[in-house]
Amino acid sequence: MNNDELIERQQRLLVRSAQLRLILADQAQVLQKPLAMADQAQSGVQWLYRNPLWPLGALALVALVRPRRAMAWGGRLWWAWKTLKQTQKWLTKRPLQKQLP
């Protein structure tokens, strides 16, 4: 290939690259809302870690105002927590199965 053909090929590749970038940007818009929601959830969790007294205060208020409901939900949450931990323990003890090719 001579120099003119290489320059022409380079120009075609640059145009194709720009087209692909536009297509990718258009297709990525579908992910914008779910990723924004995930960012908000992550920000909320970080806020809870930085400000643990607010949710604890809310729980204490619920326990004072509605003690039976707080005890019922506390029991359910405790059961769910124990089930989650037992499941995690079971999954770590279970040997990995060989995958078929």
6 pLDDT higher than 60: yes
Mean pLDDT, range 2-21, rounded to an integer? 95
Between CA 72 and CA 76, with CA 74 as vertex, the angle to 5 degrees is 70
Mean pLDDT, range 61-71, rounded to an integer? 88
For residue 1, the 8-state DSSP code is: -
Residues in CB range of 34: below 8 A, 6 or more apart = none
Between CA 91 and CA 99, with CA 97 as vertex, the angle to 5 degrees is 135
pTM beyond 0.85: no
Q: Which value, in Å, is the radius of gyration of the alpha carbons in the chain?
A: 27
Mean pLDDT, range 11-30, rounded to an integer? 94
For residue 89, what are its two tokens? 């323990």
Ramachandran quadrant class, 93 (left: phi over 0; alpha: psi -120 to 50; beta: rest): alpha
2 pLDDT higher than 80: yes
Mean pLDDT, range 70-87, rounded to an integer? 89
Check: CB of residue 59 under 8 Å from CB of residue 70.
yes
